[in-house]
Chain A
Amino acid sequence: MSSRVESQGSKTLKRVALTVLTFLLMAIMCIPGLWVILAAFRPNGEILAKPPVWIPENPTLTNFEKIFGFGADQVGIPVGAYFTNSLIIAVTSTVIALAVGMAGGYAFARFRFRGKGAIFLGLMLFRAVPGIALSLPVFIIWSRLGIIDTKFGLILVYVSLNVPFTIWLIDGFFRQVPLSLSEAAQVDGCTAWQAFWKIEFPLARSGIAAAGVFAFLTSWNEFALASQLTRSTSSKTLPVGLLDFTAQFTIDWAGMCAMAVIIIIPALILTFLVQKHLIAGLTFGGVKG
């Protein structure tokens, strides 16, 4: 009797220890990032101090004030415009990339057709071109089409950037969903379309959510192409705005960190919200055979 209680106790202890350990590990992993966030609330002098100042002595909001233009005689950075641009571009390109990804992923997972392997591989190979080789021709073509400095232009590029990945990933998740489930639903009277949305889509949810998060963060944080294809506040995104803090000689490190915080917070919120889809509510035990 007492041994069972003891083993129960030790199991809980193990679980608690594991939880604590994991949280600690995560915290350590986040230290470089946390340092940046902390720096946003400190003046430059404190950040660069040697010997280092570990506990902030003069926490301040001046970096943020400067960004938004509330500082003494500063011209603020058009953060609002950058933010809106980033949001529209990232969300739109993610939604489209997911749609294309689901269509394509489904095609690969459920169908057999000629050249399937080659096309699958080929899609990914298009991603093989490094940005450097791609950026100038894209710029020239975009400029002929007149879509430089437009949100549309950037969305188009980001969609193609994300599509290979969404297709590959979502295909992987659709494969895990047994076809028998969909067929059972169709026997019960659903059309293939309905079966897809009622059965296959929810079961592949965690993969689609993962793909969505990844696509969003890729677009949200992308710098090189955005810097090429945007010019003014009609389409400039937040990462490009980061460089506003670097002048020819100086880096306003504290300002850049503050800007980084502004960039990170929406991403964090969105990720947290999408979390619940990351769990697949699998009931594979339900259907046998």
Chain B
Amino acid sequence: MRRLTVLALGTALVSLAGAAFADAEWGDYKGYTLRVKLIGGAQYEKLYAEIPKWEAATGAKVQIVSSKNHFELDKEIKQDIAAGKIDYCVASNHTSFAPQYGDIYIDLNGVIKPEILAEFDSLALKNATVDGKLVQLPRHSDISNLFYKKSLYADQANKDAFKAKYGYDLAPPETFDQFKDQAIFFAKAPDFYGTQFVGKDEAITGRFYEMLVANGGALFDENWNPTFNSPAGVKSLQWFKDLYDAKAVPAGSLNYLWDDTGMGFASGTVALDLDWAGWAAFFNDPKNSKVAGDIGLVRAPKGDGGKRSGWSGSHSFSITKTCDNQAAAASLITFLTDHDNQMIEARTGLLPTRTKVWTDAEAEFTSQGNEFMANVFQTYSKSMAEDAFTPPLIAPWIEVSNVIWPDLQKGILGEMTPQEALDDAAAKAKTIMEDAGYLKN
């Protein structure tokens, strides 16, 4: 009899403790309203449908103060800084934009438990660190790898013709030089193109930058002198120019942004496309894309320096300095990036930032028979772990990019030689770095 009571009591205690533990997992913030600014758009908002679970577990309410597109959100936050009115706790952030915001966000290193941080990719965390402070918790990442039309490479006639012309076997390119050869080979303007590239804004600067690094060059030296007009830089710019001159890319490429290149590959008129993982599901969906079922994927090519290109960035969450309940904020962002929620995002093709989610997602795709997505995850997980790098995490980066890309365009169009164009951009970049106080002159 007594044993039963002890047992009953014991069970009750354990379950109580269990319940308390469950609440303790996310904390108890009953009655508190957490104000957040999140990035909007169908791709990103799926995650927010999980927020009610957090609200139920903690008793707090989440008030989404603003939900905007990537660029609009950036403008908005800059305005908030200007107006001195940062009255929210959590904001969506991105590794490329984070350095511009000064010190409005706190260092998460003291606030999020180290055990949790240890479950994230170390490279992702490194790229989320600005001036030694972890100002953002990465949510999902992106990096580019090479998609291609499988049927083109399987075709025997192509193989023979290519071997005859270039002297090596036709296979998805390992280097940028091979990439160029094959793009020119496949092109039949105006009906079909070898590849395409984005032609303006930070987009082209980024592509140029990653190729520069792959070719062994660097944007700046350790004193912040611009060094992108080195031979590696000229070779990189020359790559774009050669493709453009050979009409291996659409003539309108210089006006293209990500949606143009994505749609271009999906329309089936392009052979090779160095593109982001976020497009993978779109490319393989027959309702949206003509190349569905005919897509191959290899890792990004290497340059002369033996490195692969790996320009990448992560969307993230940050906590503001003016937040009056940092614990609640930390709890929310940890929840939004926990294993299950990252799995939800991974299923739609967004690359996770937690190490375990990579393997779990890939396993899930394989078990569902979705070989394509499993392959995508396998390939991209290696890229993220080994090749990923961000632009310099400094405040004037966007400004520097804005003087580089018009000159890149001039070089490609032939208004200047590549060397002249890069020299001109380097001179302008030098002025910016001096004004910003990075370069001591």
Q: How far apart are A147's CB and chain B's nearest CB, in angstroms?
A: 13
Question: Digit string of B66-87 for contact with A (CB within 8 Å is 1, else 0)?
Answer: 1111101001100100110100
B276 on the interface (CB 8 Å rule)?
A: yes
Q: How far apart are B198's CB and chain A's nearest CB, in angstroms?
A: 10
Q: How far apart are B68's CB and chain A's nearest CB, in angstroms?
A: 7
- Asked whether, in the complex, the Cβ of A143 is within 8 Å of the Cβ of B66, the reply is no
Interface residues, chain B, CB within 8 Å of chain A?
Answer: 37, 40-46, 48-49, 64-70, 72, 75-76, 79, 82-83, 85, 94, 142, 191, 258-259, 262-263, 266-269, 276, 278-279, 282, 285-290, 315
Cross-chain pairs A/B with CB under 8 angstroms, 29 sampled? A43-B287, A44-B263, A44-B289, A45-B266, A45-B289, A49-B267, A50-B191, A50-B267, A50-B268, A73-B46, A74-B42, A75-B48, A136-B79, A136-B82, A144-B83, A149-B65, A231-B37, A232-B64, A232-B65, A240-B68, A247-B42, A247-B70, A248-B70, A249-B276, A250-B259, A250-B262, A251-B259, A253-B259, A255-B42
- Closest 6 pairs between A and B when the two form their complex, measured CB to CB: A231-B66, A249-B258, A251-B259, A247-B41, A44-B288, A243-B69
Closest residue of A by beta carbon distance from B344: A73
- Asked whether, in the complex, the Cβ of A246 is within 8 Å of the Cβ of B69, the reply is yes
- Asked whether, in the complex, the Cβ of A247 is within 8 Å of the Cβ of B43, the reply is yes
Q: How far apart are A187's CB and chain B's nearest CB, in angstroms?
A: 58
Q: How far apart are B398's CB and chain A's nearest CB, in angstroms?
A: 15
Q: Report which residue of A136, A247, A249 has the largest number of chain B beta carbons within 10 angstroms of its beta carbon.
A: A249
Give the residues in chain A near B75, CB-CB below 8 Å: 228
Give the residues in chain B near A240, CB-CB below 8 Å: 68
Distance, CA A63 to CA B191, complexed state (A): 29
Closest residue of A by beta carbon distance from B64: A232
By secondary structure, the B interface counts as mixed
A196 on the interface (CB 8 Å rule)?
A: no
Give the residues in chain A near B66, CB-CB below 8 Å: 149, 231-232
Give the residues in chain A near B64, CB-CB below 8 Å: 232
Distance, CA A115 to CA B70, complexed state (A): 48
Interface residues, chain A, CB within 8 Å of chain B?
Answer: 43-45, 48-50, 66, 73-75, 77, 136, 139-140, 143-144, 149, 227-228, 231-232, 240, 243-253, 255
Q: Report which residue of A49, A247, A253 has the largest number of chain B beta carbons within 10 angstroms of its beta carbon.
A: A247
Q: How far apart are A234's CB and chain B's nearest CB, in angstroms?
A: 10
Distance, CA A49 to CA B279, complexed state (A): 17
Closest residue of A by beta carbon distance from B275: A249
Given A73-B46, A75-B45, A253-B263, check contact A143 B83 (CB 8 Å).
yes
Closest residue of B by beta carbon distance from A230: B66
Given A44-B288, A245-B42, A249-B262, check contact A232 B268 (CB 8 Å).
no
- Asked whether, in the complex, the Cβ of A247 is within 8 Å of the Cβ of B44, the reply is yes
Q: How far apart are A97's CB and chain B's nearest CB, in angstroms?
A: 26
Q: How far apart are B317's CB and chain A's nearest CB, in angstroms?
A: 16
Give the residues in chain B near A50, CB-CB below 8 Å: 191, 267-269
Q: A139-B83, A244-B40 are in contact. List 11 more A-B contacts (CB 8 A).
A: A43-B287, A44-B266, A44-B287, A74-B42, A75-B48, A144-B83, A231-B65, A247-B43, A247-B69, A248-B70, A248-B258
- Asked whether, in the complex, the Cβ of A140 is within 8 Å of the Cβ of B259, the reply is no
- Asked whether, in the complex, the Cβ of A245 is within 8 Å of the Cβ of B41, the reply is yes
Give the residues in chain B near A250, CB-CB below 8 Å: 43, 258-259, 262, 278-279, 282
Give the residues in chain B near A245, CB-CB below 8 Å: 41-42
Give the residues in chain A near B49, CB-CB below 8 Å: 75
Q: How far apart are A183's CB and chain B's nearest CB, in angstroms?
A: 54
Q: Report which residue of A231, A240, A245 has the largest number of chain B beta carbons within 10 angstroms of its beta carbon.
A: A231
The one of A43, A143, A144, A246 that contacts B41, using a Cβ cutoff of 8 Å: A246
Distance, CA A50 to CA B188, complexed state (A): 14
- Asked whether, in the complex, the Cβ of A45 is within 8 Å of the Cβ of B290, the reply is yes
Distance, CA A86 to CA B60, complexed state (A): 31
Give the residues in chain A near B48, CB-CB below 8 Å: 75
Closest residue of A by beta carbon distance from B287: A43
Give the residues in chain B near A43, CB-CB below 8 Å: 287-288
Q: How far apart are A116's CB and chain B's nearest CB, in angstroms?
A: 39
Q: How far apart are B433's CB and chain A's nearest CB, in angstroms?
A: 26
The one of B46, B67, B269, B278 that contacts A249, using a Cβ cutoff of 8 Å: B278
Distance, CA A43 to CA B282, complexed state (A): 12
- Asked whether, in the complex, the Cβ of B72 is within 8 Å of the Cβ of A243, the reply is yes
Give the residues in chain A near B37, CB-CB below 8 Å: 231
Closest residue of B by beta carbon distance from A74: B42
The one of B45, B67, B289, B315 that contacts A232, using a Cβ cutoff of 8 Å: B67
Give the residues in chain B near A243, CB-CB below 8 Å: 68-69, 72
Q: How far apart are A144's CB and chain B's nearest CB, in angstroms?
A: 8
Q: How far apart are A96's CB and chain B's nearest CB, in angstroms?
A: 26
Distance, CA A140 to CA B42, complexed state (A): 30
Q: How far apart are A42's CB and chain B's nearest CB, in angstroms?
A: 10
Distance, CA A231 to CA B35, complexed state (A): 12
Give the residues in chain B near A246, CB-CB below 8 Å: 41, 69, 259
Distance, CA A49 to CA B191, complexed state (A): 12
Q: How far apart are A240's CB and chain B's nearest CB, in angstroms?
A: 8
Distance, CA A45 to CA B283, complexed state (A): 10
Q: How far apart are A95's CB and chain B's nearest CB, in angstroms?
A: 28
- Asked whether, in the complex, the Cβ of B288 is within 8 Å of the Cβ of A140, the reply is no
Closest residue of B by beta carbon distance from A58: B287
Give the residues in chain B near A255, CB-CB below 8 Å: 42
Give the residues in chain B near A228, CB-CB below 8 Å: 75-76, 79
Closest residue of A by beta carbon distance from B66: A231
Q: Report which residue of A66, A144, A245, A246 has the largest number of chain B beta carbons within 10 angstroms of its beta carbon.
A: A246
Distance, CA A111 to CA B161, complexed state (A): 85
- Asked whether, in the complex, the Cβ of A48 is within 8 Å of the Cβ of B263, the reply is yes
Given A139-B79, A143-B85, check contact A48 B45 (CB 8 Å).
no
